[in-house]
Chains A and B, each alone.
Chain A
Amino acid sequence: KQEVTQIPAALSVPEGENLVLNCSFTDSAIYNLQWFRQDPGKGLTSLLLIQSSQREQTSGRLNASLDKSSGRSTLYIAASQPGDSATYLCAVDETSGSRLTFGEGTQLTVNP
């Protein structure tokens, strides 16, 4: 059974800092991995999708990497801003579009 772990559970940083969120998964037979952001009481906003054949994806200040063999992904946020404050969720897809297994999330607070 796939298990996804995110470290740290919570993170508080001053504005402007670069930071790294970590995600690990137990079964490397995945089709893709997706990072999401969730604001309190809201739905999920997709940030980055990494297909199993890819090593990384970038969007603006965000960069996500994937190492399938070691079961790890990292989300790098450059020059953090207070608006980045949210919970960040990592999810792996073992079924190519049918089902996601989520981590517990990292709650990020960026202080002005």
Chain B
Amino acid sequence: KAGVTQTPRYLIKTRGQQVTLSCSPISGHRSVSWYQQTPGQGLQFLFEYFSETQRNKGNFPGRFSGRQFSNSRSEMNVSTLELGDSALYLCASSFGQPFYGYTFGSGTRLTVV
């Protein structure tokens, strides 16, 4: 069965621009969560969506936003990009309840120049 698909794999943007990343969960999974990974901060939770509703949010500025569609696909958006937003962005999906664990995608590598 297909895994979690993240697109694009790589992205280069200029400071001040905005970017949208996409995540398609495993079929049947209703929860999608997003994480930012940087060498200095490690893996940090951004937000989680379940059945199109944001259930949980991490400690990131309002420039980071997300949404989930009725087919469970999710997008995250970062506006007014800063150099410090350069990171690997990872998406994870899970079934919901009962809980069988998280499955992660391969990530989107964002570089802000």
A residues with a Cβ closer than 8 A to B are 31-32, 34, 36, 41-46, 49, 51, 89, 91, 95-105
Cα separation A6 to B95 with both chains bound (whole Å): 28
Known contacts: A95-B56, A99-B45, A102-B43. The answer to whether A44 contacts B104 by CB under 8 A is yes
Q: Does B87 have its Cβ within 8 Å of any Cβ on chain A? A: no
Across the interface, B31 reaches (CB within 8 A) one of A34, A44, A98, A102, namely A98
Taking chain B's interface residues, is the majority helix, strand, or loop, or is none over half, making it mixed? strand
Across the interface, B99 reaches (CB within 8 A) one of A32, A42, A102, namely A32
Number of A-B contacts (CB under 8 A): 64
Q: How far is the CB of A95 from chain B (nearest CB, A)?
A: 6
Across the interface, B42 reaches (CB within 8 A) one of A49, A51, A102, namely A102
The size of the chain B interface, using a CB distance under 8 A, is 31
Q: Are B90 and A97 in contact (CB under 8 A)?
A: no
Cα separation A34 to B42 with both chains bound (whole Å): 16
Across the interface, A96 reaches (CB within 8 A) one of B33, B97, B106, namely B97
Write the B40-84 contact mask toward A (1 if CB under 8 angstroms, else 0).
001111001010000110100000000000000000000000000
The 3 closest A-B pairs by CB, nearest first: A44-B104, A49-B101, A102-B43
Cα separation A112 to B109 with both chains bound (whole Å): 31
